Amino acid sequence: MKKQVSRRGFVRMAAAGSAALSWLGGRRAPLVFAAEVDKPALLGGRPSHNGTWPRWPQWRESWEPEILKILRSGRWYRGSGVGSVQEFEAAYAKLVGAKRCLATSSGTTALITSLHVMGVDAGDEVILSPYTFIATYNAVLMHKALPVFADTDPETLTVDTTSIESRITQRTRLILPVHIYGLPCDMDPINAIAGKHQLAVVEDACQAWLAEYQGRMCGTLGDLGCFSFQNSKHLPCGEGGAITGNNDEIVDRCSAFHNCGRATGSLQGSGFFTRGSNFRMQHVQAAMLLQQFDKLVRETETRRENANYLSAELEAIPGITPVRLPRNSRAVWHLYPLRYDEKHFHGLPRSVFLRALRAEGIPCGSGYHEQYNDGLLDEALASNGFERLFSKKRLQDYRESFRDLTGNRLVCETTVTLSQNLLLAKRVDMERLIVAIRKIQTHSEALVKLAA
């Protein structure tokens, strides 16, 4: 058993074993039982963790009076007067260090609006990393534009910036970096490429509230930044989103588009004047968000502390690789990802590793899969619109280009994720998580037999 476990790891494991005993009742442990603790739960041992983790989302009764006040007023939508939505926009802009913020009904509609305003139109191409939530693909497709995938860097899980330039064509309008899991993209090279080819940059910061790159926050590094406040996000209000930007006219155009095309701000004076839609946020949603700012800031620090601890510990485990961040950047860990190499676990498939980890009381997942093979793109490309807009050859080349996404494939096949609420737990919970992984590694040969 000690073969693969360092002395330090072994001592730590033994310590967590006795910690586990204390939460199991505090009785003096019989020796047989102590050995049981060392066995993976999937092989009949005691789980490393009791499986209780902070819940998400969280509600505070102290938020209720403000919400009730809005409900009772009957002034529910942003057009019924200055209220929480406008207050939220000013406060969120300040929080992330942007000149302006526009609240929207979701992260998806923030993206759709931003792409429209930055000039993405039918038949255009947008370059993005495929390693993202499907809404990023959908926002591009919604404009009848082609989502062209740059590769994913297996070390950072964000876009491989060296793979962007070769994908630029005459039709490329925009680069859409995604700060996936709250990991900042390496924005300097992206902005340099965009500048050289006169392309716009819209950041998908829908998982990156308060993430930092070179001293500035994600969502303020391109032309526009998009955020999501959906139920699962770090700043949740059920559904909601925001666009941040530093250019008044551009944000005013976003505001018009999201509000049925009504002119606002610098564009005022002509009534209805552009194409638009209704992507407005309501006051109740904004009030929910405003109440959670301090909480978000505090929890971001907690997640960072725990993530830093995990990364330092995991670094020492052969076959487990924490993610690398760009120089001078700070992640916010919407998910905590690690890369799993089965070679160091006697060939234990990732799926069984995940099962074993769950049995230890650690909820975990496998991140995104190769979504370009899922049918969504086939359906889009086979539609009348796409067939009219793109040549047969372009669409064929496009489909074949997915094969070159070797970095992304590797990431999809080897990533293990822990969700953000785990990072809100205590240091001792993180220690047990490390113990669980070490235990699985020590017994991986037996687990492989179980899987066979």
Which residues are near ligand PLP by CB under 6 A? 106-108, 132-133, 135-136, 178, 204, 206-207, 228, 230, 241
Cβ 314 to ligand PLP shortest distance, Å: 24
Amino acid identity at 231: N
Cβ 326 to ligand PLP shortest distance, Å: 18
Q: What is the 3-state secondary structure (H, E, C) of 185-199?
A: CCHHHHHHHHHHHCC
Alpha helices in 180-246 (DSSP H): 187-197
- In this structure, the number of other CB atoms found within 10 A of the CB of residue 301 comes to 11
Nearer to ligand PLP, 241 or 326 (CB): 241
The span from the CA of 408 to the CA of 335, in Å, is 17
Nearer to ligand PLP, 84 or 132 (CB): 132
Cβ 132 to ligand PLP shortest distance, Å: 5
Cβ 178 to ligand PLP shortest distance, Å: 5
The span from the CA of 432 to the CA of 51, in Å, is 11
The span from the CA of 320 to the CA of 293, in Å, is 34
User: Which residue's beta carbon is nearest to the bound ligand PLP?
Assistant: 107
Cβ 362 to ligand PLP shortest distance, Å: 22
Kindly give the interhelix angle for 444-451 and 427-442, rounded to the nearest 10 degrees.
70
Alpha helices in 97-199 (DSSP H): 107-117, 134-142, 187-197
Nearer to ligand PLP, 84 or 228 (CB): 228
- In this structure, the number of other CB atoms found within 10 A of the CB of residue 71 comes to 12
The four Cα atoms 383, 388, 391, 393 give a dihedral, to 10 degrees, of 20
Nearer to ligand PLP, 139 or 447 (CB): 139
As given in the structure block, the two tokens for residue 160 are 């491989």
How far is C-alpha 319 from the geometric centre of its chain's CA atoms? 24
Nearer to ligand PLP, 48 or 106 (CB): 106
Cβ 114 to ligand PLP shortest distance, Å: 11
The span from the CA of 228 to the CA of 237, in Å, is 9
Cβ 139 to ligand PLP shortest distance, Å: 7
Nearer to ligand PLP, 106 or 292 (CB): 106
Cβ 157 to ligand PLP shortest distance, Å: 12
Nearer to ligand PLP, 235 or 395 (CB): 235
Nearer to ligand PLP, 115 or 206 (CB): 206
As given in the structure block, the two tokens for residue 320 are 């487990």
Contact 282, 85 (CB under 8 A): yes
Cβ 235 to ligand PLP shortest distance, Å: 11
Sign of the C-alpha dihedral computed for residues 354, 58, 89 and 325 taken in this order: negative
Nearer to ligand PLP, 353 or 372 (CB): 372
Cβ 119 to ligand PLP shortest distance, Å: 20
As given in the structure block, the two tokens for residue 450 are 């179980």
Cβ 368 to ligand PLP shortest distance, Å: 10
Beta strands in 6-149 (DSSP E): 100-104, 125-128, 146-149
What kind and span of H or E run contains 320?
strand 320-322
Nearer to ligand PLP, 106 or 329 (CB): 106
Nearer to ligand PLP, 133 or 345 (CB): 133
The span from the CA of 338 to the CA of 417, in Å, is 6
Amino acid identity at 123: G
How far is C-alpha 256 from the geometric centre of its chain's CA atoms? 28
Query: Is there a cis peptide before residue 236, judged by omega within 30 degrees of 0?
Result: no
